[in-house]
Homo-oligomer: A and B are copies of this chain.
Amino acid sequence: MKEYKSEIEFLNDYDSNKYDKLSLTTDILLFSVANGVQENYRKLNKKYFSILLVKRNTYPFKDKWCLPGGFIGIDEDIEDAANRILKTETNLDNIYLEQLYTYGNPKRDPRMRVISTSYIALIDKNKLPNMISNNASWFNVMILEDKNIIDLTLDNGIEKIKFKIKKILKEKTTNKYRYEVLENNKLAFDHPLVIVNGIERLKNKIEYTDIVFNMMPEYFTLKELQQVYEVILGKKLLDPAFRRIIKDKVIKTNKMRTGGGHRPSVLFKYKNN
């Protein structure tokens, strides 16, 4: 082995092909909350947790749905790549973005070895202009969890994507699970897993952070905020308890939401100090 006298000398001489190289992609879990139809002028809009998927028009997995994503440039920071992809899908900057996990199973892409770093992104759909690329679509997420089987249905109003995942306890001290895809015929790659992991992360984070406000408009009623919590957590919350928890995080404004056939509600803002 040659002896180098300095780091500069070493670097000038370095052959960057010494080690195996591979490709890196990033996949984005873009989540939002959608309004359902109003069945009655008095009743509240039902809300749905929703995710953006893209229909593949090339091989591999042609005609299957997948998460928006793409290859990372050789001189591009991973997070920059994630933001670039988000920009092409939403035409928005400054979207909440958080790294989720890096998936490195050697067989996850049939073409070649591809490692993928996934990100969670959150958005208030109202801010979204309509001009998403025409192969992208928002799917409402419905989750049924029975024992250790998670049953997911994604629905964009035209098409339903169903898949099942089995959770197998892998590590006791931290309650870590191995996820096994049982049924899936419409999602590409390992994206069923990525989606489930992303939802679980969000479920956890909503409990101990203010992450939910990244999915809210500037002004909102407390009930609207509560509905977003409920739809993500997958359970109903009690009003007084919810208000106690949330009260220090929001500011009451002098605006009201009226016209609902019932007592109007005060609009609040996120306490952004």
Contacts and interface: CB of A to CB of B under 8 A. Distances in A.
B62 A7 contact: yes
Contacts of A21: 21-23, 74
**How many copies of the shown chain assemble into the complex?**
2
A210 interface: yes
A110 B72 CA distance: 19
In this complex, the member of A7, A21, A172 whose beta carbon has the largest number of chain B beta carbons within 10 angstroms is: A21
Interface stretch (A41-49, A93-101, A125-133, A141-149): A93-101
Given A102-B78, A110-B11, A210 B174 contact: yes
Interface string A88-119: 00000000101101101110001111010100
A124 interface: no
A69 to B, nearest CB: 13
B209 A175 contact: yes
A153 to B, nearest CB: 26
Contacts of A173: 96, 209-214, 270
Interface in A1-54: 4, 7, 10-11, 14, 16, 19-24
Nearest to A62: B7
A8 to B, nearest CB: 9
Given A16-B112, A176-B98, A11 B59 contact: yes
Nearest to A59: B10
A10 B110 CA distance: 10
A14 to B, nearest CB: 5
A19 B213 CA distance: 37
Interface of A: 4, 7, 10-11, 14, 16, 19-24, 59-62, 71-79, 96, 98-99, 101-102, 104-106, 110-113, 115, 117, 171-176, 205, 209-214, 270, 272
Which 10 pairs from chain A and chain B are nearest by CB?
A: A78-B104, A10-B59, A21-B21, A16-B112, A20-B74, A173-B210, A174-B209, A102-B102, A19-B71, A102-B117
